[in-house]
Every structure is written in structure tokens, then in C-alpha cells.
Structure 1
């Protein structure tokens, strides 16, 4: 593992899209970006080990603290994927793909516990909350956050 921490400065640019997959895992690239930026004190408004990250961590039955420890050691994306593949709950490629499909299609508008929050957030971003997914909103919010 590297001893040099390379990170995205999330005060100046967004983390990778939640749709981007590493080793087949949805959300992993974004969580890594947020974790590295947090360690560097450059996470801005982003939070590592948040409820979104915990969709993935819960699916794999791993802890954000364990992922953070890898990041602190300078683990590369590939090393983190390898760790994911050998730790926590064993998942087949089909299970990983199905999880990704389900999470990518999640619509907070359809969730009574999240609806009011999502209506407010999506509407502020100019989106119709009844028609968009969480990922649709996150990507628009990321872009709007870094307009010059």
C-alpha cells in the first residue's frame, strides 16, 4: 500500500458518480473519494460512512471504520476492491449486480420515511421528485454545487 494519500479535493470538485462501479460494486468509488477527502480535511459538505455509504457497507456486512483504516494506509482502489471481495459477507457477481441495480433505481419519493425530505431536495434542484431516482438527484446536486 502507498504511504502517499492521493485524494480529490471535494471543496472544489464532486466525488465520483454513485453509479460508477469498482469491482462491480456500486457506490464504492464515491465512498472512497469521500473517505480520502475526509482524511485530508478536504471533504467539504460530503460525509464518509454516511447512510448512502452504508447501503454498500451493510450489503457487504463491513464497517466504515474498517474501510477508513484501509484508506489511512493508502490503499489503492484496486486494493480496496480486493479487500471487499475477501471480507464481510460473500457475494456472487450476480448478487453484486442485483444490489447495484436495486440501489441505482431507488426512488426516495416512494419511501414514506424519505418522501418529504426528498421532495424538498429534488425541488430545490429543479427536478420532479416523483420521476427521479436518488442517483439522478445526487448527480444534479453535485453539478449544481460546483458551477462557477
Structure 2
């Protein structure tokens, strides 16, 4: 995957029941290929998923390197990750998708990024929505 010319999948894309996993795979593949551009792997959102799954970035990277398909990575992830019930996982997914800036410094960065893309979108308060907006995906207006 060449993230210098295309975007990774949305954080909202679910794979193996987890949000962000597909995006993390895309970014990891790009880092392995040297085509990550301005994307960062592992970033703080990646670390949140890895911590929740009980997996290190090194383990995940090795699994992506060893498995050329999403199915192979998903199979490895299911065998390796700390098991979570569906209700717990869905609550965690929702929390990650709703996550916004967590400090005044982070809020200032968020506002700068959002305003660079569309300053009228003050309804956007979550990183997942800001990523989608920045990458050209539709983000419904919130009231």
C-alpha cells in the first residue's frame, strides 16, 4: 500500500469486529514497504488498539509481514489478541470512534487540522471523523 498516493482505510472500517484494525494493517504494510508518506505507525490510536488486544507493535508488524492478506492477519489476530466479549468490544469500539482531543495542546492541533480542511465543520469533535473528512470521506453533519 502506497500511502503517498492513496489513503488507508477509514478508522471506522471493521475487521474481525474491531474498528481501526484495517487502517492499522494498511499503515503497517506501508511502513514495511517504505511508502507511508506522512502517516505514522504505530501512532497513539494504533497503540490504543494494540494495548486493548494485548499485542505489541513488534508482534503486529511481524504478523503483517508474514501474512500478505487481511485474512491471514485476522486469523493471527484472533489467535493472539486478548479475547473480549462482543458487548465489551463494541463499547471499546464506540469509545475509540468518539475519542476527541484529550488536552489543550491536542485540542489546538485538532482545531488547526479541522480548520485547514473545512472550518465550517465545528460539529466534528472526534479524531475518526476528522480523519474521514481530511481523507475525503463523507462525514454527516451532527446537530
Give the TM interval when normalised to the shorter protein.
Answer: 0.7 to 0.9
Structure 2: any 5+ residue segments left out of the alignment? Answer: 138-143
The match for 1:29 is: 22
The match for 2:71 is: 78
Q: Give the TM-score normalised by the residue count of structure 1.
A: 0.82
Give the distance between the partners of 1:105 and 1:88, measured in 2 at CA. 23
Give the distance between the partners of 1:51 and 1:57, measured in 2 at CA. 10
Structure 1: any 5+ residue segments left out of the alignment? Answer: 1-7
1:125 Cα deviation from its structure 2 partner: 1.5
Matches within 5 A, 1:12-91: 12-91=5-84
Give the count of matched residue pairs: 136
The match for 1:139 is: 132
Partner-residue secondary structure (3-state), 2:23: helix
Give the distance between the partners of 2:100 and 2:43, measured in 1 at CA. 18
- Given candidates 96, 100, 115, the residue that maps to 2:107 is 115
Q: Over aligned residues, Cα RMSD in angstroms?
A: 2.0
Partner-residue secondary structure (3-state), 1:114: helix
Q: Give the TM-score normalised by the residue count of structure 2.
A: 0.85
Give the distance between the partners of 1:73 and 1:46, measured in 2 at CA. 22
The match for 2:116 is: 124
Which region of structure 1 is more displaced relative to structure 2, 51-60 or 135-144? 135-144
Higher relative contact order (CA 8 A, sep 6+): 1
Name the CA shift for 1:54/1:129 in 2 (closer, same or farther; >3 Å): farther
Give the distance between the partners of 1:111 and 1:33, measured in 2 at CA. 28
Name the CA shift for 1:143/1:76 in 2 (closer, same or farther; >3 Å): same
